Amino acid sequence: VTTISKDGKHNAAPMGVVRRDDSLLIRMFPGSKTLQNVRDTRVLVANVMPDPMAYVISAFGDLDESMFVLERGLIPPKLKDAWAWAYFTCAVGPSIKLTPVRAHVARTKPPAYSRGFAAVIEAVIVGTRLRFYKDDEGTRKILEYGTIVDKCGAPRDIEAFKKLKEILKID
């Protein structure tokens, strides 16, 4: 999800868009930069990103500014490498309710499941929640995902997982 702050700073963070019947929502962590931006600007862009590295980096820090692209008529930036994006206005409540304004599909493919990609994403999610696990349970879970990445991952998955371990200081 890409957003923009009151003072024009771009942000990206991995988020899940949930569909319940015909409504779309995102549950956001209290205190997140994304939530603050959405409170301030009431807009966001959901990007479909197949590059696992984008999730690793944006979950724990900032994507390089070169990754953001401004689209004519949209306030928040979208991601350069997104295969699809949708621009939403947001109603802020216990969750963020999304109303689609404009969307675009740039690339598609048959949805073949990749265990390596999935393992990177799930490890990133655990990594953002390490404080909720007791002892080293979170770290152990991440290393379990690592065995799947090693076995099934594409080179980019392996690279992204290595970056994740560096960021989290896991080895």
Question: Quick one: angle between helices 155-168 and 52-60, nearest 10?
Answer: 10
Angle of CA points 22, 25, 31, to nearest 5°: 170
> Under rule CB under 8 A, which residues in 102-131 are in contact with a copy of itself?
105-113, 115, 117-118, 121-122, 125
Binding mask 16-55 for a copy of itself (x = CB under 8 A): x-xx----------------------------x-x-----
Place of tokens 């560096």: 166
Pair 114, 121: CB distance under 8 Å: no
CB of 125 to a copy of itself, least distance (A): 8
3-state DSSP call for residue 3? strand
Does 152 interact with a copy of itself (rule: CB under 8 A)? yes
Residues that bind a copy of itself (CB under 8 A): 16, 18-19, 48, 50, 83-84, 105-113, 115, 117-118, 121-122, 125, 152, 154
